[in-house]
Amino acid sequence: MFLSKRWRFIWTILPKLDDDDEESKKTSWCFFDKSMELHKAPVLKTLLIKLGPGCSSDIDVGKWIAKAVDRRVVVLRFKLSWSTGPTRLPKSLYTCETLKELTLSHKVLLDFPSSSCLPSLMFLNLFYVVYRDDASLESFFSHCPVLICLNVKRNRRNRDDNITKFSVKIPSLQGLLYVSDDIISSLPDDDEVV
């Protein structure tokens, strides 16, 4: 059986890119980097990226995120577990008009510019990330007009996320899950946090 040559690069227009390999071998990240460079779908519905501790720190994750924003990404899930310091994401992420779900995890520095506005963001998951400061986080929340679900996990034992008071004032919010080890560790064994 023979296939037309046009099928050879059909993967370049797939609406979902998923690299869930936390082992992060250099060859797999070179492949993913080239895949992002060649991707041509008008809308990237989903981009899932997990970078493990073995991943090289010279990978330009900002370029991948910017490319996803250019492709009108709808769902972005990004986990960065490498051994270098937190990584700042491109400012274009915080003004993406099509983004409905955003998950950021671990070695990510959230530095929300004052021009942040995510008009379509409905679901936000922030797991063990580092924030610029209290004020930028509160300002960011105020620029998410349709946010209905917020999940936050913090490791307060390390005291390295730059937040002294985690304040949530979001009129559209319908669900909030806040998990912090300082809350859990201060409870007797038979109590629950609701």
Q: Which residue has the higher pLDDT, 114 or 183?
A: 114
Kind of pairing between the strands at 75-80 and 16-19: unpaired
pLDDT band at 187 (very low <50, low <70, confident <90, very high): very low
Show the tokens assigned to 24.
């992060």
Q: How far are the Cα atoms of 51, 158, 176 from residue 108, in angstroms, in the given order?
A: 11, 15, 21
CA distance 174 to 72: 26
Place of tokens 């809308």: 43
Q: Which residue has the higher pLDDT, 102 or 6?
A: 102
pLDDT of 74 over the 50 cut: yes
Q: What global pTM score does this model have?
A: 0.83
Q: How far are the Cα atoms of 44, 55, 73, 83 from residue 153, in angstroms, in the given order?
A: 27, 23, 24, 20
pLDDT of 190 over the 50 cut: no
Show the tokens assigned to 110.
């959230």
Max Cα-Cα span within the chain: 67
The pLDDT score that the predictor gives to residue 194 is 38
The mean per-residue pLDDT over the stretch 91-107 comes to 94
Q: What letter represents residue 174's amino acid?
A: Q
